[in-house]
């Protein structure tokens, strides 16, 4: 019988309406599980742990990512898989952060939530929770006994409505559609219809058989800088002068293009000379930043801004937090930012 650990952090899935303010508020796990009696029909052994106080995921932060990672580590030997119940707003950040923190992961960590609270008649939460549990319990047919966990999914993934996405490739695209997530630069890991159809070629397979290595230190001396027409040098310089800043994700246009004027180039050069690491990630929903295709991409490359390839902003930001948190040299941080760690980017 599969053993699954549910980690409940909060989010809409477990919320109820405050009778006075009519605002949705995170509520406890028993309320959530009482609303899904069908869970008993699954022949799994299910345990749960939860945050002391479940949160709206707008309040998610690196210390809470560490809490989730530590819960997984503590249960790693005892459970076949993990289901993390989480608000949708920052789910893609959490999925990315966990993918970096859980090195050598060989079991499923399936993150899900819902757009409507589980107590509502038309909730998507019940189906999402049940499907997430089924995915967390799924074993591979072709796996020789004793070779790894034998789990179908051996990575951090987001299950939402009809699809399973790689966690560090996913992004929240809709505030109200039940299919709220997409991974525009990476194929779906599974499609959910009458059955669960896995896209086995897209699933992550751990190259090593080393034990799980959980590293939770994150350095939040990082930032996201979005360029826009009309941006001033003062604005840009201020954002890059934040005390303690070590690195920033620069959200550029199209295939990695940015203004070529001295006001822009000199501001970036100043920051880079002060040791700030910059990664170039496109503002477009899909596509990649690699070698410049236009003159407007050349100065960034010449200055040493790293191409982010097809990484999401969520993954780029949390990867920087993780790498700076390791306490390695800037050169090493730059090296690892230029290479995928766990399927978060594809280099052309
Ligand atoms: N604000 C909620 C949260 O992220 C939204 C949701 O769960 O869908 O916690």
Candidate of 14, 113, 125, 171 to mutate for ligand 1, largest count of ligand atoms within 8 Å of Cβ:
113
- Decide: 54 in ligand 1 pocket, CB within 6 A: no
pLDDT band at 27 (very low <50, low <70, confident <90, very high): confident
Q: How confident is the model at residue 213 (pLDDT cuts 50, 70, 90)?
A: very high
pTM, full prediction? 0.96
Over residues 31-58, mean pLDDT: 92
Q: Strand, coil or helix: what is 194?
A: coil
- Average pLDDT, stretch 241-259? 96
The pLDDT > 70 percentage for the chain reads: 99
Q: What is the mean pLDDT of residues 103-131?
A: 96
**Residue 148: pLDDT above 90?**
no
What pLDDT shows up at residue 348?
77
Predicted confidence at residue 26, as pLDDT, reads 86
The pLDDT mean for the chain works out to 95
CA angle 272, 278, 282 (to 5 degrees): 140
Atom of ligand 1 nearest to the CA of 56: 9
The verdict on the CB of residue 11 being under 6 Å from ligand 1 is yes
- At residue 299, the pLDDT reads 85
Q: Which one is predicted more confidently, 341 or 301? A: 341
Residue 313 pLDDT? 98
pLDDT at 15: 93
Q: What is the pLDDT of residue 28?
A: 85
Average pLDDT over residues 47-67: 97
What are the backbone dihedrals phi and psi of residue 101, each rounded to the nearest 5 degrees, phi first?
Answer: -70, -30
Asked whether 48 and 7 are in contact (CB, 8 A), the reply is: yes
Rounded distance between C-alpha atoms, residue 302 and residue 12, angstroms: 45
Q: Find out whether the beta carbon of 89 lies less than 6 Å from any atom of ligand 1.
A: yes
Cα-to-centroid distance, 60 and ligand 1 (Å): 11
d(CA 137, CA 81): 6
Q: Is the CB of 56 under 6 A from ligand 1?
A: yes
Pocket test residue of 60, 87, 91 for ligand 1, highest count of atoms within 8 A of CB: 87
Looking at residue 342, what is its pLDDT?
96
What DSSP state is assigned to residue 105? -
What sign has the CA pseudo-torsion 8, 14, 15, 19? negative
**Is 112 close to ligand 1, i.e. is its CB under 6 Å away?**
no
Contact of 102 with 109, CB cutoff 8 Å: yes
Q: Return the pLDDT at 265.
A: 95
Ligand 1 neighbourhood includes 12 CB (under 6 angstroms): yes
Gap from CA of 61 to ligand 1 centroid (Å) = 14
Atom from ligand 1 closest to the CA of residue 180: 8
Task: Give one DSSP letter per residue of 198-227, joined into a string.
Answer: E-TTTS---S--PPPEE-------EEEEE-
Find the range with the poorest average confidence among 9-23, 24-38, 312-326: 24-38
Of 25-34, 77-86, 123-132, 159-168, minimum mean pLDDT range: 25-34
116 Cα–ligand 1 center, Å: 9
**pLDDT at residue 142 greater than cutoff 80:** no
pLDDT score recorded for residue 297 = 77
The pLDDT, as a whole number, for residue 288 is: 93
Q: Average of pLDDT values for 230-238?
A: 97
- Give residue 107's pLDDT band: very low, low, confident or very high (50, 70, 90): very high
**113 in ligand 1 pocket by Cβ < 6 Å?**
yes
- 88 C-alpha to ligand 1 centroid (Å): 5
Q: Is the CB of 80 under 6 A from ligand 1?
A: no
Our answer to whether residue 12 is catalytic in this structure is yes
Each residue's pLDDT tens digit, 177-211? 999 999 999 999 999 999 999 999 999 997 778 99
Q: What is the band of 90 on the pLDDT scale with cuts at 50, 70, 90?
A: very high
- pLDDT value for 293: 79
pLDDT above 90 (res 243)? yes
Sheet holding 306-307, edge to edge: 222-226, 247-252, 277-282, 306-307
Catalytic residue among 9, 12, 112, 123: 12
Q: Is 87's C-beta closer than 6 angstroms to any atom of ligand 1?
A: yes
Which residue CA neighbors atom 8 of ligand 1 most closely? 88
Give the span between the Cα atoms of 24 and 34, in whole angstroms: 18
The arithmetic mean of pLDDT across residues 163-180, rounded, is 96
| Ligand 1 centre distance from Cα of residue 89 (Å) | 5
- Among 16, 218, 182, 261, CA closest to 97: 218
- Nearest-5° Cα angle at 218, 290 to 113: 85
154 pLDDT tier (thresholds 50, 70, 90) = very high
């Amino acid at each position: 019988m599969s053993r699954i650990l549910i980690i409940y952090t909060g989010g809409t899935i477990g919320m109820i309406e405050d009778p006075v303010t009519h605002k949705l508020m995170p509520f406890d796990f028993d309320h959530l599980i009482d609303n899904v009696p069908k869970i008993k029909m699954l022949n799994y052994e299910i345990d749960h742990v939860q945050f002391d106080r479940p949160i709206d995921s707008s309040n998610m932060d690196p210390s809470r990512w560490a809490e989730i990672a530590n819960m997984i580590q503590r249960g790693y030997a005892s459970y076949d898989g993990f289901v993390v119940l989480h608000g949708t707003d920052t789910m893609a950040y959490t999925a990315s952060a966990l993918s970096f923190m859980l090195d050598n992961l060989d079991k499923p960590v399936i993150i899900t939530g819902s757009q409507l609270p589980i107590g509502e008649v038309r909730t998507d939460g019940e189906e999402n929770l049940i499907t997430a549990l089924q995915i967390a319990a799924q074993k591979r047919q072709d796996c020789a006994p004793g070779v790894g966990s034998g789990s179908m999914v051996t990575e951090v993934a987001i299950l939402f409505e009809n699809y399973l996405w790689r966690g560090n490739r996913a992004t929240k695209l809709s505030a109200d559609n039940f299919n709220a997530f997409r991974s525009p630069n990476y194929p779906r890991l599974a499609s959910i219809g009458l059955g669960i159809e896995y896209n086995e070629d897209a699933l992550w397979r751990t190259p090593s058989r080393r034990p799980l290595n959980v590293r939770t230190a994150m350095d939040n001396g990082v930032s996201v800088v979005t360029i826009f027409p009309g941006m001033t040098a003062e604005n840009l310089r201020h954002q890059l002068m934040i005390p303690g800043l070590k690195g920033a994700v620069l959200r550029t246009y199209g295939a990695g293009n940015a203004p070529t004027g001295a006001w822009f180039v000199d501001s970036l050069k100043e920051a880079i000379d002060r040791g700030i690491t910059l990664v170039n990630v496109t503002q477009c929903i899909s596509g990649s930043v690699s070698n410049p295709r236009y003159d407007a991409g050349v100065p960034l490359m010449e200055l040493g801004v790293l191409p982010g390839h097809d990484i999401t902003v969520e993954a780029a930001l949390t990867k920087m937090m993780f790498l700076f948190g390791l306490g390695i040299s800037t050169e090493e941080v730059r090296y690892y930012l230029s290479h995928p760690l766990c399927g978060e980017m594809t280099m052309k």
